[in-house]
Structure 1
């Protein structure tokens, strides 16, 4: 089900010609803030999946805020969402930049702001999704207060319990290996390259450096041990990244006082197949859509089912969602 933005978006105020401001007449469209949704979470929790789900409820376009997925290449290693998984929804800042040139938080702030303006001009909802919370902070809390003066924003945090997430991270690294990760990494190996810049910062590139250095000079058993060592380091470093991402989210929520809605996706990771899909829909996708509907349309119908401080396990029907989203 898709909710029509033309039917349900906030009604813009008519042009006002009699309100003076600094000696000039004020156009209300110039001061009305546009809406932006941020989808946050540690690596592997399902952020991209949720962004696609939301785009199926609200006409949207997605802006990637993962600092490694911005670069071209290493689709397996960086776990980029595939074209098939994108389901025709426009994506911005995904595999768009030279992998050898550093892309900074300032670059992200400038280009993502331009993308937001482009998306809202088409009366679509910008959804910014990714694990690089430093990019989100640089965008939202910029020094000149530009973002907050122009946009309202709603934060969704997809969370998974740490033991469950760690197990999933290990499985995902093994799956990457089984789907051709080593061959994907090989062209990016260069003994003289700097692993602190560009796409070579990606977890997997430095970890396989020793393997690529020695593979031509060692026997098969040694190669196997080098691969196992690299995979183990990848798992540990991905786990460290997840912990760092979670710490940043807690800091944004508790210290900077961002209003962040937490959704506990842990039960999804304990199920498989259709059962996992139904659980995701019930406890993550539909509650998130209700939060966004309430945020966008201030619906009185959603006030009794949305609780940003809980784990949001309330079952929500499509009719409830439509009622909450109807102007």
Structure 2
């Protein structure tokens, strides 16, 4: 029966179309992608840099086995936890999968939170250098050596070979620093120079021509307050489902040996970059002598830290979509859907989506779309991308922290900056008062000396 239904659906679908579902963590993009796939003979491709790894299903929030049985899913759980997997690896494998899905007369649906990966599929903008799979063992060892270097030393290596890239890559972003150094080592040219050449070729600061100009891009959104609440509830639910055991088992299997050797835990490779490991580090590594009350406190603090980190990432996802997908010179139409109220899902999200898919010639849903369904217009491209905005600025009030220019205003309004600025201002005021008092003392001494000199002169006379 199912095969018959799929055959009927395929008669009304355009397999050459690509559907992309964007959205922040907790917005509802995975739910929408599943609804689309089951209605238009689709197959889902996960666009998540952490879900490609085996295990940690709770931490990485993988779709359930039941959901995966509803339609084929790709790019989920096929790598070992510590394997390196780059955006180039993802791009090559995903483009092949898209072609295979379309070859089966089915609709490929991209969905996930790693928007940089989405960007690499929609636009051909990546620098053409060797991928990880082609690197020799010698180069792999060299990369590992770079990962083991202190951030300051590694960053100086980048400054030496590509000072322009060093202006826009944060010293603590080890992955991007190493990537830029590798580009130089493999091509003999600075990454910044290659990107400038790409910009001149394609007329865009982001570079790259559109691979899928007719792609249908959907952006699931919701109010900030609602999104934050959903993120908090999601973390609480993850804890209830067994997050702690999952983290502890992985920690003991992969990091315990490092502790025995006196090495710090590895949170910069493979799946260990997932939000959760760093936040629960103190709890996971707590000594057995720590009492239960203290452990409960550490657990509560770790949970709160994970909520903060997850919501911070969700806000970053929204900013990335806006800056690098919607507002670029060679963008494609992006349709927004309001998922703020779950009770209005069909009215505000599902039915408008079916209408958009019909309009974009992805699938003809015909008469099943209610007449009163909202018509969603694509977002207008404001093309406000500031290429200079990525240049790093140094805040001398906050221990020399480096902040991207377009984030500077947010940093200046942050509690951290205001606190440090207040301390600096108070210190400046105290210094000013000391100098003023000292000046008065000196003036008093000068005045006394002048009076003494006057008396001496009068006496002599």
TM-score, L = length of structure 2: 0.56
> Would you tell me which structure has more helix in proportion to its own residues?
2
Q: How does 1:189-268 map to 2 (within 5 A)?
A: 189=251, 190=255, 191=259, 192-251=264-323, 252-256=325-329, 257-268=331-342
Find the structure with the greater CA-based Rg. 2
Report whether the alignment pairs 1:296 with 2:358.
Answer: no
- Counterpart of 2:234 (choices 172, 175, 189) is 172
Distance 1:177 1:83 in 2: 19
Q: How does 1:29-40 map to 2 (within 5 A)?
A: 34-40=16-22
User: Paired residue for 2:76?
Assistant: 94
Q: What is the SS of the residue equivalent to 2:360?
A: helix
Q: How does 1:10-25 map to 2 (within 5 A)?
A: 10=14
Distance 2:282 2:30 in 1: 32
Residue 282 of structure 1, CA deviation:
2.3
Report whether the alignment pairs 1:133 with 2:115.
Answer: yes
Larger RCO (alpha carbons 8 Å, 6+ apart): 1
TM-score, L = length of structure 1: 0.78
Query: Which deviates further from its counterpart, 97-106 or 228-237?
Result: 97-106
Unaligned stretches of 5+ residues in structure 2: 127-206, 380-461
Q: How does 1:277-288 map to 2 (within 5 A)?
A: 279-288=344-353
- Length, aligned pairs only: 279
Distance 1:149 1:203 in 2: 31
Alignment deviations for residues 272-327 of structure 1 (CA, whole Å, 9 cap, x no partner) = xxxx3xx21222122112211221259797899532248xxxxxxxxxxxxxxxxx
Would you say the 8 A contact 1:76–1:184 is kept in 2? yes
Distance 2:44 2:365 in 1: 28
Distance 1:308 1:150 in 2: 20
Would you say the 8 A contact 2:283–2:295 is kept in 1? yes
Q: What is the SS of the residue equivalent to 1:290?
A: helix
Distance 1:122 1:78 in 2: 29
Structure 1 250/186 Cα, relative in aligned 2: closer, same or farther at 3 Å? same
Would you say the 8 A contact 2:40–2:363 is kept in 1? no
Report whether the alignment pairs 1:4 with 2:8.
Answer: yes
Distance 1:305 1:231 in 2: 39
Distance 2:50 2:362 in 1: 34
Q: What is the SS of the residue equivalent to 1:63?
A: strand
Residue 149 of structure 1, CA deviation:
4.4
Residue 241 of structure 1, CA deviation:
0.2
CA-based RMSD: 2.6
Structure 1 215/162 Cα, relative in aligned 2: closer, same or farther at 3 Å? farther
Residue 227 of structure 1, CA deviation:
0.6
User: Paired residue for 1:323?
Assistant: none
